[in-house]
Amino acid sequence: MAMMRLRREDPRVVGTFRLHRRLGAGGMGVVYLGSDKRGQRVALKVIRPDLAEDQEFRSRFAREVSAARRIRGGCTARLVAADLDADRPWFATQYVPGPSLHDKVNEEGPLSPAQVASVGAALSEGLLAVHDAGVVHRDLKPSNILLSPKGPRIIDFGIAWATGASTLTHVGTAVGSPGFLAPEQVRGAAVTPATDIFALGATLAYACTADSPFGQGSSEVMLYRVVHEEAQLAGVPDALAPLLASCLAKDPADRPSTLSLSLRLKEIAAREAHGPSGGLLENGGGAGAGWERRPSDRPTGQRAEEYARQRTERGTAGASAPRPHPSRPPAPRNARPSGPASAAGRNPRRPGGRTARRVPGAGPPGRSGTRTPVRTTSGGRRPGPDRRLLRQRVIVFVVVTLLVALGIAAAQGCQGPTTHGLGVRQSAPDTSASASAVGMPYGVGEQTP
């Protein structure tokens, strides 16, 4: 919800609430963002001065505030406080963070069928609580529905009407928003819960198409279409079109009840969420919880071309990424080569408990593929397992060669008068002396007594 700075003529304190920003203005007055001493934020509406001087309006306003106190539902903004006797009457409701349905659709395009059904089911439950309290909202429209992180919320009961009360309006006058009014409101007839069902149907049609089902035009044109023309639902998905058409019936008796509408929308939401598009809605599928669009959700209408262009750009970027060779399928992640070669080339566990990792794309030991040195925790480089194995073999070969040479030298040294050097004598070797020299525990070069 857009916020604006307070103007010079705006009050700074109303009741026990300090005002911070303007949230908007309507036909009844101005709505402010305020907070109390505990820091609780509220949406506070102050009635216009000219209406505050109208005693008939004050009577209606007092009755509607009393009715709003009886509403108990999770999909409505709770009434916090009100002052009916002030010079300019005011009332404060719970502040709901999040964009309105109108702003959401206007900025990001139509919602998916599953999202529309989920929002509609939650709003139907909210209207059920409103109607059980004996109240008719009378001005349900996209701008009066806020998409909070916990789900959609119905706001602005400023012209709500208590069931059974006199209308306090003249025949032929309409209180509400053209394009979302029911025909009985336009004619000045009595309003019933079916009046809100008509407005909800028009609101959900807007969420599907980003346009009113009665088009655009002046107030007179829109009101005429509501009474005499059928709603245009060409862009509404097939899963929702029949139900919304029944909500927009001209005769209130032909519209579904609030409870029936809630149940049918829940069924559609569950079917669409698990349908071919796949997957639940964000954050577990709760209505209004997490309004990020899924990859499979494709908007229609004014955002369709831009969405298709973005998908094309993402596809082009993904095509340039390297792909594995088709003739060499990737080996399983936990697969290990078998045989002697694997035993010789296996990387033993190091003292630190870490093993060398094979770099993707590198071949096994002994082939054209090479091992990439792995960095140690200190930042240096360790040789790969092939180089280390070669070094071990060289060390073993050198040690064995030295031992053999020393053994031969000791055997030959025992046969001559001298023990220096490793020269070969011409006389026949003494096998027994040589064997004893090699097997004695004396040092190399010592003679037997």
The single-letter DSSP state of residue 4 is: B
Nearest CA among 28, 177, 217 for reference residue 186: 177
**Tokens 């229609």 sit on residue:** 300
For residue 58, the SS3 value is: helix
Tell me the C-alpha distance between 279 and 276, whole Å: 9
DSSP string, 265-277: HHHHHHHHHTSTT
Tell me the C-alpha distance between 152 and 155, whole Å: 10
Are 265 and 246 in contact, with CB atoms under 8 Å apart?
no
Each residue's pLDDT tens digit, 195-246: 999 999 999 999 999 999 999 889 999 999 999 999 999 999 999 999 999 9
**Beta-bridge partner residues of 374:** 382
Phi, psi of 132, rounded to the nearest 5 degrees: -65, -25
Mean pLDDT of 309-337: 47
Mean pLDDT of 246-275: 93
Half-sphere CA count of 208, side-chain side, radius 13 A: 24
**Res 92 pLDDT > 80:** yes
For 11-95, the fitting CATH number among 3.40.50.2300, 3.40.50.720, 3.30.200.20, 3.30.450.20 is 3.30.200.20
Question: Which region holds residue 29: left if phi is over 0, alpha if psi is between -120 and 50, else beta?
Answer: left
Which has more pLDDT, 206 or 392? 206
CATH superfamily label, 99-303? Transferase(Phosphotransferase) domain 1 (1.10.510.10)
For residue 220, the SS3 value is: helix
Mean pLDDT of 390-410: 89
Tell me the C-alpha distance between 199 and 245, whole Å: 12
Q: Is residue 301 classed exposed, middle or buried when 0-12, 13-18 and 19+ CB atoms within 10 A define those classes?
A: middle
Tell me the C-alpha distance between 203 and 224, whole Å: 18
DSSP string, 203-227: HHHHHHHSS-TT-S--HHHHHHHHH
Tell me the C-alpha distance between 235 and 209, whole Å: 6
Sign of the torsion formed by the C-alpha atoms of 256, 204, 282 and 288: negative
CA geometry: angle 130, 133, 134, nearest 5 deg:
95
Residue 36, Cβ neighbours under 10 Å: how many?
15
Mean pLDDT of 415-439: 42
Which region among 78-82, 175-179, 250-254, 348-352 has the lowest average model confidence (pLDDT)? 348-352
Q: Is residue 42 classed exposed, middle or buried when 0-12, 13-18 and 19+ CB atoms within 10 A define those classes?
A: buried
Each residue's pLDDT tens digit, 127-180: 998 888 888 888 899 999 999 988 999 987 655 554 444 333 333 344 557 889
Name, in order, each residue with C-beta under 8 angstroms of 392's C-beta and a sequence gap of 6 or more: none
**Beta-bridge partner residues of 191:** none
Catalytic residue among 87, 103, 139, 211: 139
Q: For the chain, what are the domain ranges?
A: 11-95, 99-303, 388-439
Residue type, 439: G
- The CA-atom distances, in angstroms, between 28 and each of 25, 104, 156, 158, 372 are 8, 24, 10, 7, 73
Supply the pLDDT for residue 28: 80
Residue type, 305: E
Q: How confident is the model at residue 335 (pLDDT cuts 50, 70, 90)?
A: very low
The single-letter DSSP state of residue 142 is: G
Residue type, 429: P
**Res 126 pLDDT > 60:** yes
**Res 24 pLDDT > 90:** no
Query: Tokens in use for 405?
Result: 């040479």
Residue type, 394: V
Tell me the C-alpha distance between 31 and 156, whole Å: 10
**Res 351 pLDDT > 80:** no
DSSP string, 24-87: EE-SSEEEEEEE-TT--EEEEEEE-HHHHT-HHHHHHHHHHHHHHHT---TTBPPEEEEESSSS
Query: Tokens in use for 53?
Result: 């001087």
Q: What DSSP element (H or E) covers 148?
A: strand 145-148
- 139 belongs to the catalytic site: yes
Q: How confident is the model at residue 358 (pLDDT cuts 50, 70, 90)?
A: very low
Each residue's pLDDT tens digit, 47-64: 999 998 998 888 888 877
Phi, psi of 76, rounded to the nearest 5 degrees: -125, 155
Mean pLDDT of 343-357: 45
**Tokens 């964009």 sit on residue:** 99
**Tokens 């809605």 sit on residue:** 281
Q: What DSSP element (H or E) covers 117?
A: helix 113-132
